[in-house]
Amino acid sequence: MFKCIYNPFSYPLSLHFKAPLMTIEALRPVASAGGSLGESEPPAYVAPAMTKENLDYADLAIIDLSKANTPAGRAELAVELCDAMKTKGFFYAINHGYTQEQTNQMFSISQLAFDGVSDEEKVQYEGTSPTVYEGYKPKQTWHIDHGVRDQIEHYNINRHVERVPQPQALRPFVPLMEAFAKHNFFNILHPVLRLLAIGLELPEDTLIKDHDWDGEGFTTIRFMKYHPRSTDEEEKTKNVWLKGHTDFGSITILWSQPVAGLQILSPDGKWRWVRHMENAVVINAGDALEFLCGGYYPPTRHRVIQPPSDQANIPRYGLFFFVMPNDNVKLIPHEESPVLQKQGVHRLCDPKDAPRMEDWRKERTKSYGKVELKMGKEKGVEEEIVSGVIVKHYN
Ligand SMILES: O=C(O)CCC(=O)C(=O)O
Ligand SMILES: [Fe+2]
């Protein structure tokens, strides 16, 4: 049932700007946007059963975001989170402020974006520029291996949801999508950015300033649907659905869902599965954070492969928030960090040649899955050059 859900974590934006260190207790609760959805309710997303296979799961830290409300809580969490970022690159965040019901609502809307919109309408709302993910990305845009192309649909919505019109089926849910974008931005991203800054002994709002809600940029909600593939496609790609990569932006928030497939490359060179955790988000660092933090938080190498046999024929719906610093942010390290000064800065390029976020996201989007990759020095790792920087693709 879709209801008007009271969201204690949703609050007017202006409050954030006036009081950046405000605690959650201090926030003025407002009802989340939406109201009664009545007739417009989308078919409910029914979470598939988790796999019974005994998979080699990555052992990831669990960060309790409700502790981030106080300076003492943040100091404690910063140690845990920095360790998780440096050793595993992924962590779970719990107590992020959305109920299971709110999360399910968003998965229902993700499902609707693919199953409730006709192919003709999808074409109308397809992205128009090769340098930006906005609107639908149809299947078969990217080359995976041996002539096989992807079976992944995306629907991308800039965080300023009202920027562009939405397909008819999604229009009643624009207020919920807006509330979702703000929730990810202010209640999940911001605390995480504070903790990462604390880890570098920088003022807590250092990275938040690079991520201004009102600034230009492409922090984006993404709905995703992976379609099961043919045996021939599985064989030719060795079951890889989405090649090993790092994300372009600073932080990615993946809303955990039960169909296995996501794997991370562990420091011992093994791919390990990410286990589903009910109503948790899985967070990882991307390229832009590596640039900004001088390599202190390396971007996580991850991929998606065919789900285990008891889930192999289920469509895999996804719900994501891809975060990028604002377009005008020059991707150079915060060298003022005492931690970086002590341990040295890893620079991806000469600061005078460093791309701005806008250049990086456009170049990465334009070439991803489209340019021919060259075999690099590391075994099984292919490479391309983007804005003068080596970008690796892992298999
Ligand atoms: O589908 C997933 O679990 C991960 C997707 C992903 O890594 C991406 O879209 O960048
Ligand atoms: Fe990714």
DSSP-derived secondary structure for 13-65: HHHHHH-TT--GGGS--EEPTT---GGGPPPPP-PPPPP-S---B----EEEG
Q: From atom 3 of ligand 1, which residue's Cα is the shortest distance away?
A: 262
Pocket residue to mutate for ligand 1, from 302, 303, 393, most atoms within 8 A of Cβ: 302
At 65, phi and psi to the nearest 5?
-65, -20
Domain CATH for 317: 2.60.120.330
The confidence score (pLDDT) of residue 39 equals 53
Q: In 10 A of CB 39, how many CB atoms?
A: 6
pLDDT tens, 19-28?
222 333 222 2
pLDDT score for 340:
96
- The position carrying tokens 């960090």 is 337
C-alpha of residue 280 to centroid of ligand 1, in Å: 16
> ipTM > 0.90?
yes
The per-residue pLDDT for 24 is 31
Q: Is 393 in the pocket of ligand 1 (CB under 6 A)?
A: no
Asked whether residue 365 carries a pLDDT value surpassing 90, the answer given is: no
pLDDT band at 49, cuts 50/70/90?
very high
239 lies in a domain?
A: yes
The rounded distance, in Å, linking the Cα atoms of 257 and 168 is 26
pTM as predicted = 0.88
Return the minimum-mean-pLDDT range out of 118-122, 188-192, 214-218, 359-363: 359-363
Q: Per the structure block, which two tokens stand in for 235?
A: 């064989």
Within 224-350, where are the H helices?
231-236, 287-292, 338-343
Range of the domain at 305: 24-370
Q: Quote the pLDDT of residue 375.
A: 82
Does any domain span residue 299?
yes
251 lines ligand 1 (CB under 6 A): no
Q: What are 197-245's pLDDT values in tens digits?
A: 999 999 999 999 999 999 999 999 999 999 999 999 999 999 999 999 9
Within-domain flag for 37: yes
Helix H or strand E encompassing 196? helix 190-199
Residue 9 has pLDDT above 70, yes or no: no
Alpha-carbon gap, residue 266 to 270, rounded angstroms: 5
Report the mean per-residue pLDDT for the chain. 87
In a domain, 322, yes or no: yes
> How many whole angstroms from 377 Cα to the centroid of ligand 2?
23
Evaluate whether 273 touches 308 at the Cβ level (below 8 Å): no
| Structural domain count, the chain | 1
Amino acid at 387: S
Q: Retrieve residue 382's tokens.
A: 């292919």
Q: Give the tokens for residue 203.
A: 């003022």
In a domain, 140, yes or no: yes
Q: Which two tokens stand for residue 257?
A: 């869902």
Ligand nearest to the CA of 222: 1
The more confidently predicted of residues 252 and 163 is 252
What whole-number percentage of the chain has pLDDT above 90? 70
Q: What is the pLDDT of residues 246-267, one digit of tens each?
A: 999 999 999 999 999 999 999 8
Structure tokens at 136: 């639908």
Distance 115 CA to ligand 2 centre (A): 23
User: What's the CA-to-centroid distance between 263 and ligand 2, angstroms?
Assistant: 10
Cα–ligand 1 centroid distance for 316 (angstroms): 11
Number of CB atoms found within 10 A of residue 395's CB: 16
Asked whether residue 324 is domain-assigned, the answer is: yes
- For ligand 1, whether the C-beta of 122 sits within 6 Å is no
The DSSP letter of residue 324 is -
Q: What is the pLDDT of residue 363?
A: 87
Confidence of residue 379 (pLDDT cuts 50, 70, 90): confident
Burial category of 147 from C-beta neighbours within 10 Å (exposed 0-12, middle 13-18, buried 19 and up) = exposed
Provide the CA 42 distance to its chain's centre, in angstroms.
24
Question: What pLDDT is attached to residue 33?
Answer: 39
Structural domain contains residue 383: no
Tell me whether residue 391 is in a domain: no
